[in-house]
A and B are shown apart, each in its own frame.
Chain A
Amino acid sequence: MAGVVVKGHFPRRRIVQIVVANVTRYLFRGAARNWLRNIGSTAPALSSMTLLLLLSGLVGMVGFALHNLEQAQAAQASLIHVYLRDGVPSTDVNALWDRLAKDPRVASVTYVTQAEALARAQRIPGLPQLAAASNGNPFPASLDVQVKSIDDAAAIDSLVRTDIAVDAQNPTSYDQGAYQRIQAVLFGLAVAGSAFLLLLGFVAVTVTMNSIRAAIHARRDEVTIMQLVGAPRWMVRGPFVVEGAITGALSGALAGLVTFGLAVAAMTAGAASFTQFAPGITVTVAAIASAIVFATGLGLGSGSSLISVRRHLES
């Protein structure tokens, strides 16, 4: 009798389901179980990584605020307030205005009345008290000159100092070298902050690598058996990488939450002066910083455990 070939329908979806279930079990569930079982040896790595990530988050936010501060300083330095003499005729003011407006190095010229100068001063911490202490309005009217390049600020300052419309005692707000000093300080802070972050990253990676190395050492028999029964490399290495990722993700989540909480608390406590001292730091920025801290934790945890696994598992 001739044989009959039956072409069965390959249950691909079922196969995929089984493969996914097996991968989930061997890679993720196994890693989570081992992570919980080894919580005693993982705890130091978890806590130190949380602390390091928290510091990184705070340093990062301070860095962001300093960057904004530097931007504000640059904008401020390229804006020269040309203080006008008391009782100066409007023709002299107009003549100076025209001269400045025609200068190719000048971006814009704005006339600021005494009342506007007072209103502006009242938004700056400390100055309202000064204004209140004096009789009348101590702030002069000015021409606010926005120069195109900060390098031209000195030349514009020299140009206007001797003008008849300008106050001879206190001609402009230009302070030669002030911006450069601020820049130098901020640059130093940026370098120190980056070095600090690098150091923290190195410590976090080392701590996680050691924790994974300890886990590999503790389970070396299990690893050997898995290898000997034919487990593919990803199945042997994967759970350790997932364990590192769990440590990193948890540390990142904790540090991110604390970073966010501290930033929001600081914003709430010092709402008035916060924007002056930490410009640009808002709730959204704090949330983004927390997300970056979480992602960094996840990346550092899985990356450092991958390095550790590659270094220690083959041997």
Chain B
Amino acid sequence: MKFNDLFAGLVVLALSGLVASASWNLPNPSEQPLGPSAFPLILAGLLGFCALILAVNGARATDAGPLVGLADWTRNRGAVLRLLLVPAAVIFYMLFAETLGFLICATAILVVLFLVGGTRSLHAVAMALAAALVIHSIFYLGLGVQLPWGPLEPLRW
């Protein structure tokens, strides 16, 4: 996603407006002259000012391109899919780590990412399993982090 400066400026301006409105009515329990809303309001003001300059510069630029353009890589469908796999993998882990356990989740994520990267399937499975076991050992055995076991609970070592 490639925003031109006018669009980016407007988005940031909206953000500064949101922050300002959210901090306007923060309670000031200790009745200080500058309560908890003071600093965020100053920041929102500065951010709004910078955003305005960016937007004005973007509007005056002649070679700015469309408001929201697409970078070169977005025309390559494979690249877009590979990119989306990253958040997909993280969200998959967040959703299923507790039920499937770390080892199964991690191996599954790695196998998919290796295969997409062009590794041969047998290699991918073997390396994924090995990498998952090494990372598991570092955190579970080395640092004592309680990683979830899931259905492999009976095998816990």
Do A and B bind? no
Binding site for A on B (CB under 8 A): none
